[in-house]
A = this chain, B = another copy of it.
Amino acid sequence: MSETSASPFDNVRAVTWNDGRLQLLDQRRLPDRAVYLEYQDPIDVADAIRDMVVRGAPAIGITAAYAVVLAAKQAYLEGADKWRILIEAAMEKLAAARPTAVNLHWALKRMQALFPGIEGDPEPVLLAAARAIHDEDIAANQAMGKAGAALLGESKAVLTHCNTGSLATGGFGTALGVIRAARQAGYLEMVYVDETRPWLQGSRLTAWELMQDKIPVTLLTDSAAGYLMSQGSIQWVIVGADRVAANGDVANKIGTYGLAVAARHHAVKMMVVAPCSSFDLDTPSGDLIPVEDRGPDEILQFNGRQIAPGGVPAWNPVFDITPAALIDVIVTEKGVIETPDRQKIAAVLA
């Protein structure tokens, strides 16, 4: 792992493959500094996912796919005839890095499915597959952006939560892709962004991305969202997803559920933008999705400084579950699913 610096105003890419090395933009240090970390060891990549150097369900999936390339290369060097066995430890470590976003497991499974058919050096085949996952994600985001923007009609302002932009995906973004596409089409006067405690993805990442694109942005605390809606200031809440269950329940950044409840109360529409790689048809409903608890430190400390009394217990679930009944539409690259349910989802994803 090595470190290089770049202007924060370069074209943003969270994940890049560069001459045999995986390059990740260190999102813990944004917006102060844009530092790129380079990886050659898949175990270091698993740590990077866990420690949130890279975050965002699709970006984690793409990162894991490239990490499989690194792992296979390493395993093949160690033993060309038994790399499929030697790679297993790294595959398990990657799978365990974070529990909620399903894209991670989806990408690992897709890569793993290629193993039996590979002859000789696995790197070329797997790198092509990882690149395909990456490219497909960007293409999916472009398609979802167009489809989602078409739903916004004459909407003047929307609220988004967490970060779902280039930093969270292969590029362009899911919910932020819809916002970008809407602006490109000449719509939307204001994008409101929740700061998104505890990790401040909204303040640090989404505000930064929107400012780079010169899209009008207003930041607010998470708890001001209800008051914003009561004033009639927004027409849509637009969010991404870390996992969509077979029935349309959505796991996403903590606070999404509260926004959905408030949106329904105010007749504000709720849009979830999620590529097919975020759907988990093996999980029947949201209550069965594992919700990651990242422990108290993210709440008790800020930049290493204590912001709560020492030793106070804290509950830090970093995702919550929004039931399908509170979602007006899920946008996928294969089509738009209004008032989602099991049948409609199965039909679109088939």
Contacts and interface: CB of A to CB of B under 8 A. Distances in A.
A309 B258 contact: no
Q: How many protomers of this protein does the assembly include?
A: 2
Nearest to A199: B221
A86 interface: no
A221 B31 contact: no
Nearest to A31: B309
Interface in A306-326: 306-309, 311-317, 320-321
A261 B265 contact: yes
Contact of A197 (B223, B227, B308, B311): B223
Interface stretch (A76-84, A102-110, A211-219): A211-219
Contacts of A197: 195, 197, 221-223
A195 B299 contact: yes
A333 interface: no
B207 A308 contact: yes
A313 B207 CA distance: 9
Nearest to A210: B312
A198 interface: yes
A203 interface: yes
A85 interface: no
A306 B320 CA distance: 28
Interface in A20-60: 31-32
Main secondary structure of the interface of A (DSSP, over half): mixed
A311 B218 CA distance: 11
Contacts of A314: 218-220
A204 B299 contact: no
Task: Please indicate which of the listed interface residues A223, A226, A254, A303 has the most CB atoms of chain B within 10 Å of its own CB.
Answer: A223
Contact of A257 (B227, B299, B321): B227
B224 A320 contact: yes
A110 to B, nearest CB: 31
A281 interface: no
Contacts of A230: 257, 320-321
A254 B219 contact: no
A221 B254 contact: yes
Nearest to A161: B223
Task: Please indicate which of the listed interface residues A195, A230, A308, A316 has the most CB atoms of chain B within 10 Å of its own CB.
Answer: A308
Interface of A: 31-32, 192, 194-198, 200, 203-204, 207-208, 211, 217-228, 230, 254-255, 257-258, 261-262, 264-265, 296, 299-300, 302-303, 305-309, 311-317, 320-321
